[in-house]
Amino acid sequence: MRIAMGVEYAGTGYAGWQEQRHTQSIQTLVEGALSRVADERVRVVCAGRTDAGVHGLGQVIHFDTSARRPTRGWCLGGTTHLPDDIALTWAREVPAQFDARRSALQRHYRYVILNRPVRPAWLNGRVAWARKPLDIRRMQAAAPHLLGEQDFSSFRAVGCQSRHAWREVTRAELHRQGDFLYLDVSANAFLHHMVRNIAGTLMAVGAGDRDPHWVAEVLAARDRTVGGFTAPAGGLYMVAVDYPAHFDLPVPPPPPRFA
């Protein structure tokens, strides 16, 4: 039997999603919790591996098991064995051809920036902080350069292991509410640090350090060293993953807002 599940987590205290030998990861904890419910070893596949400090609202996983449990049992039983900052939000029995990673059509991320002179306190680790005023109109003028299928080599981490850097970005939008700026990026798939590098590049434009057209020049260079800085992990949220309608998966929660 194959089960799909939704996972929600605050990534602040973890070394990222992927299992690691010498430090605690979200995958390790989720597998341990589900293994206790199943009374057998469970291995999960996720829609997208998030980095250390990155948060997940709409992460999706699947796993195979011979255990028979009600969907409520998978969610509540699994969450009971997890830390307070990780929860299993829904469960569905799915066909064997469903794959949390390969069946995904699009992935959606939100990057949250607190733009004010004073650093965050209770939102520390939940948002990025930009002390210098950011002009959202300049950032909005730059964002359309990111749309379409392009080579995003200039926005991938040096250690990115993807075979190629071609990705199709379908959404790159910004809006402001009070002191908070929200960057929403959607694509068929993402490279390592891609959204954080996009955020850092757009923040340089918003701060007036670069012109909006500079984003197009960065893309054309296909060279990570010419782009903006890698924005902090704490501002990044994996908010949703799209799948074909016939899998009938739940609608993900709305992306985070702080104002």
226 exposure class (CB count in 10 Å sphere: 0-12, 13-18, 19+): middle
CB 156 within 8 A of CB 126: no
Residue 84 a catalytic site member: no
Catalytically annotated residue among 39, 51, 99, 184: 51
| Alpha-carbon distances of 198 from 17, 29, 144, 147, 185, rounded to whole Å | 21, 30, 12, 12, 9
Pairing of strands 55-64, 236-242: parallel
Q: Catalytic positions, please?
A: 51
